């Protein structure tokens, strides 16, 4: 099954998303990580599409979505939540499951809490955080800033693919075809003819102008929905002490949180193989039972 490529105007910007599955099926929002695009969710979306309507946005400044006109103010979680709320409203989404990788998980947490965007309160039924938590390891954030803020440029797509294979090695196993698709769906050509990752380097200003933007315990603690945290077993971003704390506060204190470590991955599992699909789907079934 192939996706349909669509655009919507959200918070004054053209936002690109791919849509999979039937329009009347239960909805899954699958939101990508910091320097990535919605096409990272292709394998998961294709697997879910026979039973779900899967929406995979490109965040502002990534992929085929517009870039921010005011990067210091707009590259932050509260603005991304505004974009998500507009997308829900425009697509007629009343309720959805949310699967978010890294930044996408943080956006989902903020959206589900409803503090930054009250329009979404009660509309997210469950939350799958793919190597994301309400607090992230500072050393790993510095590592991400180092490569995301100054994306390299290469003469050839093959060289860019080699770079992606190195920097995203913690994703775990990807086939050669998946590496090639990851590269081709996140590549843009510069005026001088070289190729570089398909995002606005200014998006890294989120870390300088909003230094604590990913410290979101206040949002997490308000959640009253099932939460699954998929932690890459070798992750340097989501620490075990953080996931342990997640189990004791907020939704964790109410028995609504599960933490599962994904072997063979760091930050973050690619959600591209049957084992990952099974984790997401079994988590939904188990979490919905807990939620009644």
Question: What pLDDT score does 143 carry?
Answer: 85
- Helix, strand, or coil here: 53? strand
Q: What distance in Å separates the CA atoms of residue 227 and residue 165, rounded to the nearest whole number?
A: 30
How is residue 160 written in tokens? 């860019």
Q: What is the mean pLDDT of residues 31-58?
A: 97
Question: What pLDDT score does 292 carry?
Answer: 41
Q: What distance in Å separates the CA atoms of residue 153 and residue 155, rounded to the nearest whole number?
A: 7
Contact 93, 27 (CB under 8 A): yes
In sequence order, the 6+-apart residues with CB closer than 8 A to the CB of 275 are none
CA angle 135, 141, 147 (to 5 degrees): 155
Residue 21 or 2, more confident: 21
Residue indicated by tokens 């009347």: 24
Q: What distance in Å separates the CA atoms of residue 45 and residue 196, rounded to the nearest whole number?
A: 26
Residue 290 pLDDT exceeds 60: no
Q: What distance in Å separates the CA atoms of residue 38 and residue 54, rounded to the nearest whole number?
A: 11
The torsion angles phi and psi of 259, rounded to 5 degrees, stand at -120, 125
What does the DSSP 8-state code read for residue 49?
A: T
Question: What pLDDT score does 286 carry?
Answer: 54
Q: Write the pLDDT tens digit of every residue in 127-151.
A: 999 999 999 999 989 888 888 889 9
In sequence order, the 6+-apart residues with CB closer than 8 A to the CB of 143 are 236
pLDDT confidence tier of residue 109, bands split at 50, 70 and 90: very high
Instruction: Supply the pTM of this predicted model.
Output: 0.96
Q: What is the mean pLDDT of residues 259-283?
A: 94
Domains of the chain are: 4-138+212-291 (3.40.50.1820)
Residue 158 pLDDT exceeds 70: yes
Average pLDDT, the chain: 95
Residue 164 pLDDT exceeds 90: yes
Q: What is the mean pLDDT of residues 250-261?
A: 96
Burial class (CB in 10 A: 0-12, 13-18, 19+), 283: buried
pLDDT confidence tier of residue 95, bands split at 50, 70 and 90: very high
**Closest to 37 measured CA to CA, from 203, 259, 177, 157:** 203
**Closest to 253 measured CA to CA, from 215, 284, 280, 221:** 221
pLDDT confidence tier of residue 291, bands split at 50, 70 and 90: very low
Residue 58 pLDDT exceeds 80: yes
- Helix, strand, or coil here: 79? helix
Q: Write the pLDDT tens digit of every residue in 199-209.
A: 999 999 999 99
What does the DSSP 8-state code read for residue 33?
A: -
């Amino acid at each position: 099954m192939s996706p349909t490529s669509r655009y919507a105007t959200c918070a004054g910007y053209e936002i690109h998303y791919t849509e999979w599955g039937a329009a009347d099926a239960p909805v899954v929002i699958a939101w990508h990580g910091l320097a990535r695009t919605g096409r990272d969710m292709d394998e998961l979306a294709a697997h879910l599409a026979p039973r779900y309507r899967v929406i995979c946005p490109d965040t502002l400044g990534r992929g085929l979505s517009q870039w921010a006109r005011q990067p210091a103010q707009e590259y932050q979680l509260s603005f991304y939540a505004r974009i998500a709320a507009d997308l829900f409203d425009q697509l007629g989404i009343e309720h959805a499951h949310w699967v978010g990788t890294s930044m996408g998980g943080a956006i989902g947490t903020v959206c589900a809490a409803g503090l930054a965007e009250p329009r979404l309160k009660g509309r997210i039924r469950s939350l799958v955080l793919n190597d994301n938590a309400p607090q992230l390891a500072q050393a790993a954030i510095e590592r991400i800033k180092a490569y995301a803020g100054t994306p390299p440029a290469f003469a050839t797509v093959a060289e860019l693919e080699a770079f992606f294979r190195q920097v995203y090695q913690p994703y775990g196993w990807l086939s050669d075809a998946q590496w090639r698709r990851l590269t081709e769906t996140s590549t843009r050509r510069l005026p001088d003819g070289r190729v570089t990752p398909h995002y606005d380097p200014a998006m890294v200003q989120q870390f300088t102008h909003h230094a604590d933007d990913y410290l979101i315990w206040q949002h997490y603690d308000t959640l009253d929905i099932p939460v699954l945290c998929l932690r890459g077993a070798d992750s340097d971003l989501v620490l075990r002490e953080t996931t342990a704390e997640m189990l004791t506060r907020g939704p964790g204190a109410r028995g609504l949180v599960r933490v599962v470590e994904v072997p063979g991955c760091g930050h973050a599992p690619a959600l591209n193989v049957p084992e990952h699909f099974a984790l997401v789907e079994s988590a939904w079934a188990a979490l919905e039972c807990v939620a009644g």
